[in-house]
Amino acid sequence: MAATKEEIIEGLAEIVNEIAGIPAEEVTEEKSFTDDLDVDSLSMVEVVVAAEERFDVKIPDDDVKNLKTVGDAVSYITSHQG
């Protein structure tokens, strides 16, 4: 079953919290993974893998570079869920 936008944001917040130690409440749609949430390229790979598992979506490497903000990731997951 497809996750709602709110569920995706909440899930990404939990993932970023686990990987980067950023408080979940600070993870909002307009935040940049690298600039605002301190997610480096290695951690971003972990975020993507965790999001793929959690939301049953495949995110090809070519698409990962386009996921600059949490909102970008939410939009991508929303439109590519199984």
Taking only the tens place, the pLDDT of each residue in 40-78 is 999 999 999 999 999 999 999 999 999 999 999 999 999
Whether 82 shows a pLDDT value over 90: the answer reads no
Q: What is the pLDDT of residue 61?
A: 94
Asked if 3 and 55 count as a contact pair (C-beta separation under 8 A), the reply is yes
- Which position has the token pair 């903000």? 69
pLDDT of residue 14: 98
At a CB cut-off of 8 Å and minimum separation 6, what does 30 contact?
69, 70, 71
Task: Give the count of domains, the chain.
Answer: 1
The pTM of this model reads 0.94
- Domain span including residue 73: 5-80
Report pLDDT digits (tens) over 4-50: 999 999 999 999 999 999 999 999 999 999 999 999 999 999 999 99
What is the C-alpha to C-alpha distance for residues 57 and 68, in angstroms, rounded to an integer? 18
Domain containing residue 19: CATH number: 1.10.1200.10
